[in-house]
Structure 1
């Protein structure tokens, strides 16, 4: 998985020399690759890490000496091909990661290996906005259920990290919810709360940021360094990856495009301002606009089903919404000049919404900016949040921190 800066560098203590910090980073890179791979040779390690053979050889000897890796040989090569190469792998279980995705209406948990391949998954429907304590209690229970299903005992097996996403801004330094966007969670440190229930550290992040990290690591934005991930459903938000790193802003509120002022005299929003983009074109507002024209009770999900069935009224509204969101994104793109916009969450299902964004990007961004930019739906879909939680769990795991 790509390594993302979570603001912590235990290796970079004042007493550490540049050489020792580099050594820790190289050793972590070797351990990370071995933890996510089948057994590999020293030559393969050098090729895949980009390190010199002498550096790899030195690190391998150190890790063999501490017992963190083991060496085996293979007899599967053809006879007469010379001495079989020795292969290296981590000793014991490579380790397990846990991802927790808390949305406005769900809690989703995945127990996975270091390559984010799921070993167990759990999901419940829950109004997370109303009761943070109940939500975190239920999340902890799902984690325990998933670990049990995967045969993982945290007291004996290597549980390397737990990542958690919530649908609101989180201060990147304290882990505290800092905005009335998630009013009942204000001043709560959800990562600490879940950690108390699990007995292991938990790393918390905004859900749109996790979607961005997930798409960069495993989805539509692989190998792209400058990405805007748009999480659009009942609410609207964005995660920003700039020059290959997640950008949170000073207080963790970067990317809250749903709370850009869109109508000067619009209604009061949950964030405390008025006329926000989300109040005008969030999924809940679109359902409200459409409802008088339908005999059945609509929801965001039902609205999108009708769109896929070719309903003209729904697609016209979704096109309008895409154009409005695209107008705000166009201003952001003129500032940031990204290569890709990934549209995630439920609105990714609407071709009209995605095309509306594209139309506004083409109309309102600088020509060179628009020419270098593409708009695509998410590849990870509903799993983007929990996969992103696994990404930050992996980035915070001991192999990345140098605590070897």
Structure 2
């Protein structure tokens, strides 16, 4: 079953990548014929023709008859008559910003590094400026941008657009994200926790399509989870639902950044993982550990497998409460594939309450490291619909 899921995800990813190449070529070069598109993208003329037809039907591209070198040709241009949305994913150490049309086709995107203790006001002002530059780069007017979705790695009170935690993201405690952005942009903004947005994207468009409830677990430098129940993200009273990384697994364990002891993040986050290997492997980054594990390094494979078992046990507790149909694993560590997922799945099956249908399926995120960004775009699109900016109900 997992091989089928993976094959489906791979085909979808390849199709999206090819569509992105076509859109990117038109964005960069302006009006192009299909023959020119095939040359620039390296795709076959037949593939380009199918993609152009599909994106034209979706309202992403416009086509018109033309003459090139004395021959009839099909001229392809961007179509944005129904507007665009922007997504901002502010991670612990980077910022990913994207612009998409209302069919969720990405028109432009950029990733920038952030200082370890980046401040809310400066980071959000930088993000707003980048969004404006992207709008200008696709030759769009400012009023074509309908809404902005923002994801931050901390609990968010979605009713006020304010970071509700007081200890999880230095420089962001109590940050009023919507108010800060309002100072530089008049575009409607929606803010949520990044893992919640990853869950939204995977449940609506990715690996969790057709399942309910969907649990999404993001495992990287930090650990978070999002739950989609009945098509809606579960936020809780003040946005702290799904803070899996701060589930206590050892009450005498290391002190966590949240102030508690023995949180899951202190034993299964990236810092703990690389620390375990420091004596035998020296200084490594998380990417180093994953690369070496995939290349067969026994120590790195063991460390990731142990992390997988720890995560599986914690997720089993989540499953006891929520009983999801599927668990989607995202974040940087998910790129370790079955080195992580196999032990995680075994621990989950061992520790979940036995039922006649067994443990929930565990699959990698279809959108990989872009799940949170795509969720931000989806949230922005939802806000645009709520405000009637699309002219149709959702």
TM-score range, shorter chain: 0.7 to 0.9
**1:259 corresponds to 2:243:** no
**1:124 corresponds to 2:131:** no
The alpha-carbon deviation at position 128 of structure 1 amounts to 5.7
Q: Secondary structure at the match of 1:385?
A: helix
Q: Distance in 1 between matches of 2:111 and 2:356?
A: 40
Cα RMSD for the two superposed structures: 2.0
Structure 1 regions of 5+ residues with no counterpart? 1-35, 41-90
The alpha-carbon deviation at position 194 of structure 1 amounts to 1.8
Find 1:374's aligned residue among 357, 361, 368: 361
Residues 199 and 226 of structure 2 are in contact (CA less than 8 Å); yes or no, is this contact kept in structure 1?
Answer: yes
Q: Which has the larger radius of gyration?
A: 1
The alpha-carbon deviation at position 291 of structure 1 amounts to 1.3
Find 2:269's aligned residue among 254, 269, 282: 282
Residues 151 and 197 of structure 2 are in contact (CA less than 8 Å); yes or no, is this contact kept in structure 1?
Answer: yes
Residues 122 and 146 of structure 1 are in contact (CA less than 8 Å); yes or no, is this contact kept in structure 2?
Answer: no
1:305 alignment counterpart: 291
Q: Distance in 2 between matches of 1:92 and 1:247?
A: 32
Q: Secondary structure at the match of 2:333?
A: helix
TM-score normalised by structure 2 residue count: 0.76
1:332 alignment counterpart: 318
1:228 alignment counterpart: 215
Find 2:351's aligned residue among 360, 364, 370: 364
Q: Distance in 1 between matches of 2:323 and 2:150?
A: 29
2:134 alignment counterpart: 146
Aligned length: 315
Residues 208 and 229 of structure 1 are in contact (CA less than 8 Å); yes or no, is this contact kept in structure 2?
Answer: yes
CA shift digits 1:241-286 (9 cap, x unpaired) = 1122110101100000110111121121111111111011111111
Q: Secondary structure at the match of 1:216?
A: helix
Q: Secondary structure at the match of 2:162?
A: coil
Q: Distance in 1 between matches of 2:80 and 2:369?
A: 33
Find 1:94's aligned residue among 67, 82, 98: 82
Distance 1:344 1:370, change over 3 A: farther
Structure 2 regions of 5+ residues with no counterpart? 1-54, 60-78
Q: Distance in 2 between matches of 1:254 and 1:95?
A: 33
Distance 1:241 1:364, change over 3 A: same
TM-score normalised by structure 1 residue count: 0.74
Matches within 5 A, 1:187-266: 187-266=174-253
Q: Distance in 1 between matches of 2:153 and 2:159?
A: 18
Q: Distance in 2 between matches of 1:369 and 1:151?
A: 56
Higher relative contact order (CA 8 A, sep 6+): 1
Distance 1:128 1:119, change over 3 A: farther
**1:106 corresponds to 2:83:** no
Distance 1:193 1:370, change over 3 A: farther
